[in-house]
Amino acid sequence: MKRVLSAIQPTGDMHYGNYFGAVKNWVDLQDKYECVYGVVDYHAMTMPYNPKKLRENTWDVIFNLLAVGVNVENLFIQSLVPEHTELNWILSCFSSYGQLTRMTQFKDKSAQNKAGEESFISSGLLSYPILQAADILIYKADFVPVGKDQQQHLELTRNIAQRFNNQMGKEYFVLPEILFTETPKIMSTADPMKKMSKSAGEKHSISLFADEKVIMKRIKSAVTDTGEKTDTMSPGIANLFMLLKASNKMDIHTSLMDDYNNNALKYVDLKEAVAQTLIELSTQFKAKKAEFLTNKKDIKNQIKYSSSQIRKIAQETIKEVKELTGLGNVRF
Ligand code: AMP
C-alpha cells in the first residue's frame, strides 16, 4: 500500500483554508492509503511563540483533526518522534542555502516579523523547509496532500532527496508527489488577494469551530468587487463560489452561477448561501469535538501510543541513513 504523509502546525485555530486545501483530503485518503499525519510542534517554534500555548495548541489541533474525521491511529505529535530533528541535520548538509532564501514563505514571514514588534528572524524560519523535508522523507512517503502554498517546499524536498540519492549513489529516498484537493487555495475573505491564514491576522481566517455570529460577520463583510464592470470574475466573488463548491453545495452553486452569468447575481444571496454552508459544517465539527473532549485522557494516551508506533518507521530510516552516510560506530 502506498504511503501518504502530511502535517499541520499547532499555531492556533484550524481554519477553512486548512480544511478545504488539505485536511479534507487527509480524511478522504484514509480509505485508500497508509496515512501518517503529524502535528508538527517543532515547526511552530520558528515564529515568536509562548511555550504554554504551544502545548495547549498541539492538543487542540489533535482534537480538531479527530473532530473532522482523521483516525486516531494515523496521528502523531512530531516532538514525540525526535528522529525528525536528527534527519533534519543530516539533510541540511544536502540542502542549498540559496534555494532556502528564495522560498516565498520565508520572504513573507520574515517581512511580517520585521514589520512586527520584534524584528527578530530566527534561522529556524529559514531552515524549516529542511525539517519539513525530513518529516516527509523519514516515512518514505509516496504522496503528500498539502495546499498550493506548500508546492515550493515540496519541490525543495524532492531536490534534497535527489541530491542525497545522487551523492550516496543509491535511489534511497522516495521522491514524494504532491496531492492537491480540488480547491488547493482558499483566499482571505477580508483580502482575497492573500491566502486565508491565521498568521496574517484575525480577520484573514475563519475557524472551523467558529460561532455562527463570527461566520456571519466574516462572510457578510467579505470583499467582493469595486463595483466596476469587468470581464473576469473578481477574486472575492470567485473565492465565495469556491467555498460553496468545496462544500459540495453544487445545486446552489449552479443556480447562483447562472445568476452571475446573467448579470443577475445579488451578492447578498451568495453571501447568505456561503455563510449558511459554513455554519452547518462548523456546527457538525463542534459537536464532534465536544464528544471527543469528554474522553480527553483516553485520547491523549491513544495519541502517545500511535506516536510510538509511527516512531518505529522513523527509527528504521535513521538507522539506514546513518549506515549510508558513514555516521555512527555501526562498523567498529
Ligand atoms: P499550516 O497551517 O501552515 O500548517 O498548513 C496546514 C495545511 O493547510 C498545509 O497543507 C497547507 O498547505 C494548507 N493550507 C493552509 N492555508 C491554506 C489556504 N489558505 N488554502 C489552502 N490550503 C491551505
Judge if 151 and 286 occupy the same domain: no
Q: Same domain, yes or no, for 41 and 119?
A: yes
What is the average pLDDT value for the chain, to the nearest integer?
93
Mutating to test ligand 1, I would choose from 49, 77, 150 the residue with most ligand atoms within 8 A of its C-beta, which is: 150
Q: Is residue 196 part of a domain?
A: no
| Residues 161 and 281 grouped into a single domain | no
State if residue 249 touches ligand 1 by the CB under 6 angstroms criterion. no
Domain co-membership, 226 together with 308:
no
Looking at the structure, do residues 98 and 234 belong to the same domain, yes or no? no
Q: What is the predicted pLDDT for the residue at 330?
A: 56
Is residue 207 located within the same domain as residue 126? no
To test the ligand 1 pocket, which listed residue (4, 5, 18) has its Cβ within 8 A of the most ligand atoms? 18
Residues 87 and 138 sit within 8 Å (Cβ to Cβ): yes
- Amino acid symbol at 267: Y
Same domain assignment for residues 223 and 318: no
DSSP letters for 87-145? HHHHHHTTS-HHHHHT-HHHHHHHHHHHHSS-----HHHHHHHHHHHHHHHTTT-SEEE
- Model confidence at 163, pLDDT cuts 50, 70, 90, reads very high
CATH number, domain at 265? 1.10.240.10
330 in a structural domain: no
**Do 28 and 182 touch, CB atoms closer than 8 A?**
no
* Closest protein CA for atom 18 of ligand 1: 17
- Count Cα atoms within 13 angstroms, Cβ side, for 278: 31
Q: pLDDT of 35-76, one tens digit each?
A: 999 999 999 999 889 999 999 999 999 999 999 999 999 999
Name the burial class of residue 99, with classes exposed (0-12), middle (13-18) and buried (19+) by CB atoms within 10 angstroms of its CB: middle
| Element spanning 76, H or E | strand 75-77
| 259-265-268-274 Cα dihedral, nearest 10 degrees | 40
472575492: which residue's cell? 236
Say yes or no: 30 and 127 in one domain: yes
Strand partners, 15: 207
Full domain range(s) for residue 215: 202-290
Residue 140 has pLDDT above 60, yes or no: yes
Domain membership of residue 191 (yes or no) is no
Q: Is 243 near ligand 1, meaning CB less than 6 Å away? A: no
Are 23 and 165 contained in the same domain? yes
Number of structural domains the chain divides into: 2
With cut-offs at 50, 70 and 90, classify the pLDDT of residue 332.
Answer: low
One-letter amino acid of 297: K
**What does the block give as the cell for 162?**
535527489
C-alpha distances in Å from residue 209, one per residue of 5, 39, 64, 306: 25, 18, 9, 25
Nearest atom of ligand 1 to the alpha carbon of 40: 4
Asked if residue 35 is part of any domain, the answer here is: yes
Report the DSSP beta bridge partners of residue 76: 38
Report if residue 190 sits inside a domain.
no
Q: Which helix (H) or strand (E) holds 6?
A: strand 3-8
In a domain, 76, yes or no: yes
The 10s digit of each residue's pLDDT in 220-274 is 999 998 666 677 899 999 999 999 999 999 999 999 999 999 999 999 999 999 9
Alpha carbon of 17 to ligand 1 centroid (Å): 6
List active site positions.
Answer: 109, 195, 198
Can you read off the three cell numbers belonging to residue 61?
Answer: 489541533
Closest residue to atom 11 of ligand 1, CA basis: 147
Residue 309 in any domain: the answer is: yes
Q: Are residues 27 and 130 in the same domain?
A: yes
Q: Are residues 180 and 210 in the same domain?
A: no
Are residues 97 and 13 both part of a single domain?
yes
Q: Which of 183, 195, 129 is nearest to 19 (CA)?
A: 183
Instruction: For the chain, state the CA radius of gyration.
Output: 21
